[in-house]
Structure 1
Amino acid sequence: MTTTTVDATIERWLATYDAPDADVAFLLCDRHDPQTVAFTFVAPDLSTRDMTYGELAEQSRRLATVLAERGVREGDRVPVLMGKRPELVVTLMAIWRLGAVHVPLFTAFATGAIEMRVAGAKARLVVTEPDQRAKLDPIEGIDVVETGAEFDRLIADAEPLAETVAVGGEGIFLQLYTSGTTGKPKGVPVPVRALAAFHSYLHYGLDVREDDVFWNAADPGWAYGLYYGIVAPLVAGRRNLLLASGFTPESTVAVLRELGVTNFAGAPTMYRALSKSGLVSGVRLRRASSAGEPLTPDVVEWAEDALGVEVRDHYGQTELGMVICNNWHEDVAQPLKDASMGQPLPGYAAGVLDGQIAIDVPGSPLLWFTGYHEEPAKSAERFTPDRRWYLSADTGRVDEDGYYFFTARDDDVILAAGYRIGPFDVESVLVTHPAVVDVAVVGRPDPEGIRGEVVEAFVVLAEGVDGSAELARELQELVRDGYSKHAYPRAVHFVEALPKTPSGKVQRYLLRQA
């Protein structure tokens, strides 16, 4: 397929999803064959339940009537605190039928994190499940709808909503909050036109085909799981698996094997845990993709033998979706380069400004982010003054072949004795040691006042391994001899766990303060 054909496909998607009369419920549900399976819900015991588009349409129309009677109107923000269960997707579709906005709440959140998002969204109603209800009780001024027998009765007794609200391509249908790796989470409004970008990634980035058994294992409380585990499969009419339990290597291998998964997407921490577990056997994938943090080379090497396919790294942000990828689709796929996150996804153009990865705004018809919710100052920081470029706040480089390489969050770059050191490069070496399960590298002020900053490593060890001074020296030498003398960690700290956001991203700023 030619570049012209790819561009024409992008234009066709934009014409559909950016139309003035774009209707989310129609685009994600009602236009599909009602007999086609939308989701397969997988219980911890691996029993499954399919939900067709017809079932989703009928139940969401009835729930939309219930929510309308509770006062939900077009433009209202409606947070949902719920795991990967059938009621989740029914609730989301009901919200969208009313022209309202879904605000995801991660089920691992405590009350404080929930209240911050509920207040920031000015929400008056929250939908939840029994196991999560107690977290909402301390929050004043909100109505709560809870799943269970009463929830089911309300749906069964309600008349189906006759007409849905079309908010158009510029209308907001999601509002996520950033993961808080560098500070207070910020609200990201997502317009309906973003469906074109999500469709491009599912098609060109992940290459999800009609005959695939697709499993995006990320949690829909965060961007990757919501954008590409719920919304993108719906917009493209592709089935996704939703596993009710949390991640473990044992459950993941069981689902991959027993359900015959052919196309898998997950976080680097998942792949790393699988590679260290020794449990992977009898699994053969057609496609494997990773996103969330950079993928270390050891995982790529492991996967080709263990999974039968290379793992391809992809880069994006809550504010962007996925934008730079080692694309899988044969029309745009290129060979892998070690440690590269690939090339721009069709519909995007990128560059590097002063060492920072940037997206070319006029050259990226799929770019949908215009600013944070009610935060004009923070929004302005994301763009150059002329709004010609979106600034990612991630440092990196691009080579002569157009491949992009991630270095670090801009705040995480280590300045040591005149060198700029990316934590990822050092972490990629350290994690190859068999004793290391997880690792994060930061820069801290040089106590001698000579180097500006020194590299320090925080290391999580495998079970049964002692954090001895000898092992610390061994890790230092591994970096010094295998990567660079200027980048080896001057101090190695052995810790039980790394501080991470609920979506699994390392909060290096907390380590710098330790």
Structure 2
Amino acid sequence: MDIKTTLLDPRLRVTELVSQYSDPSASVAWLLCDRHNPQSVAYEVVDATLEAKRLTYGELKRQSEAFAAGLASLGIGKGDRVATLAGKSQEFLIALMAIWRLGAVHVPLFTAFAQAAIALRLAGSHAKVVICDSAQAAKLAPGEDTPENPSWRVVVIGGEQAASADPLAVTFESVLKGGAQQPVSAAASLGGDAPFIHIFTSGTTGRPKAVVVPIRALATFHSYVEFGIGVRDDDVYWCAADPGWGYGLYFGVIGSLCTGVHSVLLKAGFEPLTTYRVLVDRKVTNFAAAPTVYRSLLCSEIEPPPGLALRCASSAGEPLTPDVNEWAVGALGVEVFDHYGQTEAGMLINNHHDPRLARPVKAGSMGVAMPGWKAVVLDRDNDVEVGVGEVGRVAFELTESPLAWFKGYEDDSAKSAERFAGDGRWYLSGDLGRVDEDGYFFFSSREDDVIIMAGYRIGPFEVESVIAAHPDVAECAVIAVPDKVRGEVIEAYVVLRRPEKAGPEMEHDIQQWVKTRYAAHAYPRQVHFSAELPKTPSGKIQRFVLREQRKKDGSIASIGAGTN
């Protein structure tokens, strides 16, 4: 990052970034890798034993050039979709840069997804290659949800055995070694309007929606890392979010590569002691994670160790409850700044760490609009702004939002139209909120029923569709219930074909059914067996009635923000 540019007025800085990333000759590999000092550390990749290996920009360039040539030998070129079903690793970073070096488009897949969810996204994106960890390879095998002769090739990270089970599969190492003979020397320069990510986001109805992200969206991602997270040249930055989802990909990988900041990537899963150890051992100064990470640290019996070097802590993915900061100031030495955004836009409203924009944190507020975005609150029924303190639709005026890039969902004009109002003047977030006299925004609830658990957005329809396929289930509905650690968890209301089968055994069977057929993280923590479900006259299930019923049954005190 050029220190001189950070002294600009934020509005001028936005203009500068938009121009840079919208350039007709913009190249992702150049912008995220090749322009940086080859001796600078891109990432410290930390394994489960807490051993760290440094990956410089020079090494990332060299290895991604070789892997890009290997992908090209598999038929990958400009515009082709290449999926990753892989955890955080050096191989993952090399694969991403190789994809973009060719001008191909990355399709992120969350490793907790079951086979059906993966197959749906691969088919929807028309992916030609899937790069996967060896532990994930079985999910790509032909079966009930995956075709016998899939249209994609498989590249397996970390295992000859997994690759040998599929005659069309090859190992990551063989692709890398083959490409090293004649590496790709010229990075694709496709311009700001070309796509570089094809990501799926969940809603409450229908299939997952596809968002195709153009290169110019990098201006939005860079702006957030600079303004919201407040990275500096001397930072060690760690975003703990999973890159299988928007926040982790946009800001755990892309945002850091935009700025060239020294970053940390942890290959192990979350665990409080490991988190503290990494923060201390790697001398992390700037940390970003979902509220569930902070709540888990708060609820653990582990005392924060001496030697923490944090100067900034950020949170995104779900509303941050005030009790986190009551704890964080004493435990971590800093407040946690709440941030708000979406897969379709990047980050929009923040408590900014950048000193040009820093303001006192208000408990329960997600902050103020980021430079480059004009945020407003519209009436629930009419496209007019409401007064201070009134709850309405959180929206963004596109004519005054130069960082906006989302034009609609791929091949879904009906869902796309729902995100805009006023003949295209407003982008609708789909969330309800209010703004106070100082311009601070407060989240109220979602207009739809999307569940946010530990930072992951889960579409009820997807979970309900899986449960409904259970041979003993007649119909079902799922809702969000507040949880101290995860923010929200899923609970299901199920009508059985044979009511006498209701009980703990059936509950466990349904939970396992969801784990194995959709995603390990998205199973219902409780299953309530009902004789019938509340519905509208047209037959639509009324989830809000179930939420009210759940709130009044005495097992929870109240429904928290975002679940009303």
Q: TM-score range by the shorter chain?
A: 0.7 to 0.9
Residue 286 (str. 1) matches residue 311 (str. 2)? yes
Q: Equivalent residue for 1:61?
A: 65
1:5 aligns with 2:9: yes
Q: Deviation per CA, 1:97-146, whole angstroms, max 9, x where unpaired?
A: 11110000111111111101101101122111211111111232321111
Q: Which amino acid aligns with 1:323?
A: L
Q: Which moved more, 1:268-277 or 1:6-15?
A: 6-15
**Partner residue, 2:407:** 370
What amino acid is aligned across from residue 381 of structure 1 in structure 2?
E
Q: Aligned to 1:377, what secondary structure does the other structure show?
A: helix
- The alignment partner of 1:193 has SS state of helix
1:163 has 2:186 as partner: yes
Alignment RMSD (CA, Å): 2.8
- CA 1:125–1:289 in 2, change beyond 3 Å: closer, same or farther? same
The counterpart of 1:313, out of the listed 304, 326, 338, is: 338
Tell me whether 296-305 or 140-149 shows the greater mean CA deviation.
140-149
Is residue 88 from structure 1 mapped to residue 92 from structure 2 by the alignment?
yes
The change in CA–CA distance for 1:441 and 1:408 in structure 2 (over 3 A counts) is farther
Paired position in structure 1 for 2:512 = none
The 1-side partners of 2:125 and 2:40 are apart by: 34
Distance 2:58 2:7 in 1: 36
For the structure 1 residues 276 and 98, does the alpha-carbon distance in structure 2 shift closer, same or farther, using more than 3 Å as the test? same
8 A contact 1:253–1:280 mirrored in 2: no
SS at structure 2 position matched to 1:83: coil
**1:144 counterpart (140, 154, 157):** 154
SS in 2 for 1:492: coil
Partner of 2:553: 491
How far did 1:48 drift?
0.2
Query: 1:287 & 1:279 partners in 2: Cα distance?
Result: 21
The equivalent of 2:234 in structure 1 is 211
Query: Once the 2 structures are TM-superposed, how far is the Cα of residue 440 of structure 1 from its aligned partner?
Result: 4.5
> SS of the counterpart of 2:407?
coil
Pairwise CA distance, 1:385? 4.3
TM-score normalized by structure 2?
Answer: 0.74
Aligned to 1:154: 175
Please tell me the residue identity of whatever aligns with 2:222: H
Partner of 1:260: 283
Q: What percent identity do the matched residue pairs reach? A: 50
Give, as a single letter, the amino acid of the residue that structure 2 aligns with 1:151. Answer: F
AA partner of residue 106 (structure 2): H
Matched AA of 1:141:
S
Offset, 1:79: 0.7
Cα 1:507–1:366 change in 2 (3 A) is closer
8 A contact 1:182–1:507 mirrored in 2: no
Question: 2:128 is matched with which residue?
Answer: 124
- After superposition, residues 102-113 of structure 1 pair within 5 angstroms as 102-113=106-117
* Structure 2 alignment gaps of length 5 or more: 161-170, 380-391, 451-480, 494-525, 527-547
Q: Distance in 1 between matches of 2:201 and 2:81?
A: 16
Matched, 1:189 2:212: yes
Letter in 2 for 1:74: K
- Quick check: 1:38–1:234 contact (8 Å CA) kept in 2? yes
Partner amino acid, structure 2, of 1:96? W
1:396 partner amino acid: G
**Cross-structure match for 1:460:** none
Query: Which whole-Å CA distance do the structure 1 matches of 2:243 and 2:342 have between them?
Result: 15
Output the CA distance in 2 between the equivalents of 1:230 and 1:444: 34
Residue in structure 2 matched with residue 331 of structure 1 by the alignment: 356
The answer (yes or no) to whether the contact 1:396–1:404 under 8 Å persists in 2 is yes
Hey, what does 1:273 align to over in structure 2?
Answer: 296
Contact 1:412 1:442 in 2 (8 A): no
Structure 1 284/489 Cα, relative in aligned 2: closer, same or farther at 3 Å?
Answer: farther
Match of 1:345 among 354, 364, 370: 370
Match of 1:361 in 2: 398
Residue 180 of structure 1 deviates from its aligned partner by 4.3
Contact 2:338 2:350 survives alignment (8 Å):
yes
Q: Give, in whole Å, the separation in 2 of the partners of 1:373 and 1:441.
A: 29
Cα distance in 2 between the residues matched to 1:334 and 1:8: 20
Change (3 A) 1:440 1:160: closer
Deviations 1:35-71 (A, max 9, x none): 1111110011110001111111111111111111111
Distance (Å, rounded) in 1 between the aligned partners of 2:123 and 2:492: 35
- Aligned residue pairs: how many? 441
Name the amino acid aligned to 2:153: D
Going from structure 1 to structure 2, the CA distance change for 1:263 and 1:405 (only over 3 Å counts) comes to: same
What CA distance in whole angstroms lies between the structure 1 residues aligned with 2:205 and 2:309?
38
CA contact (8 A) 2:375 2:397 kept: yes
Q: What secondary structure, in the 3-state scheme, does the structure 1 residue paired with 2:98 have?
A: helix
Contact 1:7 1:347 in 2 (8 A): yes
Q: Does 1:101 align with 2:126?
A: no
Once the two structures are TM-superposed, the CA of residue 488 in structure 1 deviates from its matched residue by 11
Letter matched to residue 365 of structure 1: P
Q: How far is the alpha carbon of 1:239 from its aligned partner?
A: 2.1
What SS is found at the alignment partner of 2:319?
A: coil
1:247 aligns with 2:270: yes
| 1:439 CA displacement | 6.0
Q: Alignment partner of 2:67: what SS?
A: helix
TM-score, normalised via structure 1 length: 0.81
The aligned counterpart of 1:30 is 34
User: Following TM superposition, by how much is the alpha carbon of 1:279 offset from its aligned partner in structure 2, in angstroms?
Assistant: 1.3
Q: Does 1:202 align with 2:225?
A: yes
Q: CA deviation at 1:151?
A: 2.6
